Amino acid sequence: MDRSLAHKHLHVVTGKGGTGKTSVAAALALALAADGRTTLLCEVEGRQGIAQVFDTAPLPYTETQIASAPGGGRVFALAVDPKEALRDYLQLFYRLGPAMGMLDRVGAVDFVTTIAPGLRDVLLTGKVYEATGARRKGRQRYDAVIVDAVPTGRVGRFLNVNAEVSGLARVGPVHKQADSIMRLLRSEATAVHLVTLLEEMPVQESIDAIAELHALGLPVGAVAVNRVRNSPLSQVDLRAAATGKMKADQISQGLAAAGLDHPSHPVAATATALINEAAELSERITLQQAQRQRLEETGQPLIDLPEVQAPGTVAAVHELAETIRAGLR
Ligand SMILES: Nc1ncnc2c1ncn2[C@@H]1O[C@H](COP(=O)(O)OP(=O)(O)O)[C@@H](O)[C@H]1O
Ligand SMILES: [Mg+2]
């Protein structure tokens, strides 16, 4: 990763669903907490994905320490809840926090938090903005805030919603807040990262999202290429596999020499199976290289992240964090 990316204050992580958005956001929060720093990892989709990747109980709406980083760093986590964010919002702008109960009874809370997606995004981004600390007197301040954000298809609208609010509310505190949020999101302090796999669909979505973010004036950071597997075969072998030039008799001899000949698994059959597998691997790697080429053409920095041994464990998050950290150095 570009060194300057290590010093952003707000990191927004997006990606096609299932590519590893939550895992990468968690690993980034851990990587940025190294050397005694404190970071906050926020989720905004109510899925308790962070609790899952850290293998802990569901997160409360309050900021809670969820992990420790090497060198005394701390990672806090927060599941942003739209209803709680609405309460904060009403309190902040209208001193109306206590009116929530009444609003709830007339259905207004459901309307704002679930039915009107734009309003919901206003609440969620408002809470994230608050966590970045412009007004945090006497509360925990963070060296970096990392958001496990909405998927690529919705990220432009999500991040730009306050530009619309600012246009609707021309004056007053709501206008001011919306402007402040947009100023932060468009500033050098922010980076929007993408997570992808080297497959056609997620790569296409990443490329589309990069173009959309650029058009909105939002700063694009790195592209995390997740689940990269190193080939067990050399370039020469891969080419031989692709062009049908692997030598079955040579492979059979090697298998026999290794004592792998057995009446139920004759070496000739094993050699054929290996050659077919090598051809498939070669094809897959060629396709992946084409996808990587497309990502390189975007001009954004790419960070390769390995396929981890034990996905869904704290160890896996640490492993990914180490790779990210090495990239930061
Ligand atoms: N680098 C990786 N290696 C192996 N498995 C991974 C890796 N990254 C993510 N996964 C697995 O892929 C699945 C989706 O990851 P997750 O972070 O929840 O993605 P998203 O938030 O994009 O839906 C999970 O089961 C996770 O453990
Ligand atoms: Mg997720």
Name the residue with higher pLDDT: 157 or 171. 157
State how far the alpha carbon of 12 is from the alpha carbons of 15, 19, 208, in Å. 10, 15, 17
- Counting atoms of ligand 1 from 1, which one is nearest the CA of 148? 21
Residues 112-133: pLDDT tens digits? 777 777 889 999 999 999 999 8
28 C-alpha to ligand 2 centroid (Å): 14
**pLDDT score for 98:** 76
- Amino acid at position 237, single letter: D
Instruction: Ligand 1: list residues with CB < 6 Å.
Output: 15, 17-23, 49, 53, 226-227, 305, 307-308, 311-312, 320
- Counting atoms of ligand 1 from 1, which one is nearest the CA of 151? 22
90 CB neighbour count, 10 Å cutoff = 18
Contact yes or no for 228/306 (Cβ under 8 A): yes
- Counting atoms of ligand 1 from 1, which one is nearest the CA of 312? 27
- Counting atoms of ligand 1 from 1, which one is nearest the CA of 25? 17
**pLDDT score for 1:** 53
Residues 223-261: pLDDT tens digits? 999 999 888 899 999 999 999 999 999 999 999 999 988
Considering every ligand atom shown, identify the ligand nearest to the alpha carbon of residue 320 and give its number.
1
> Which protein residue has the closest C-alpha to ligand 1 atom 19?
20
Least-confidence region, from 118-127, 150-159, 164-173, 276-285:
164-173
135 C-alpha to ligand 2 centroid (Å): 29
Q: How many helices and strands in the chain, by DSSP H and E?
A: 13, 8
Mutation pick for ligand 1 pocket among 23, 30, 314 (CB with most ligand atoms within 8 Å): 23
Q: What is the DSSP letter of 184?
A: H
Most trustworthy range by pLDDT among 133-147, 167-181, 205-219, 254-268: 205-219
Name the residue with higher pLDDT: 100 or 70. 70
14 C-alpha to ligand 2 centroid (Å): 9
**pLDDT score for 2:** 58
Considering every ligand atom shown, identify the ligand nearest to the alpha carbon of residue 28 and give its number.
1
**pLDDT score for 87:** 87
Nearest in space to 174 (alpha carbons), one of 108, 123, 117: 123
pTM value? 0.92
CA–CA separation, 52 and 303 (whole Å): 23
**pLDDT score for 125:** 96
Residues 268-307: pLDDT tens digits? 999 999 999 999 999 999 999 999 999 999 999 999 999 9
**pLDDT score for 107:** 78
**pLDDT score for 128:** 96
Contact yes or no for 248/279 (Cβ under 8 A): no
153 CB neighbour count, 10 Å cutoff = 14
CA–CA separation, 96 and 318 (whole Å): 42
**pLDDT score for 285:** 92
**Average pLDDT score over residue span 69-87:** 92
Judge whether residue 135 has pLDDT over 80. no
Residue 181, CA atoms < 13 Å, CB-side half-sphere: 26
In which band, very low, low, confident or very high, does the pLDDT at 134 lie, cut at 50, 70 and 90? low
Nearest in space to 283 (alpha carbons), one of 231, 324, 221: 231
Residue 300, CA atoms < 13 Å, CB-side half-sphere: 29
In which band, very low, low, confident or very high, does the pLDDT at 3 lie, cut at 50, 70 and 90? low
Considering every ligand atom shown, identify the ligand nearest to the alpha carbon of residue 27 and give its number.
1
- Residue 325 in tokens: 């950290």
Residues 7-50: pLDDT tens digits? 999 999 999 999 999 999 999 999 999 989 999 999 999 889 99
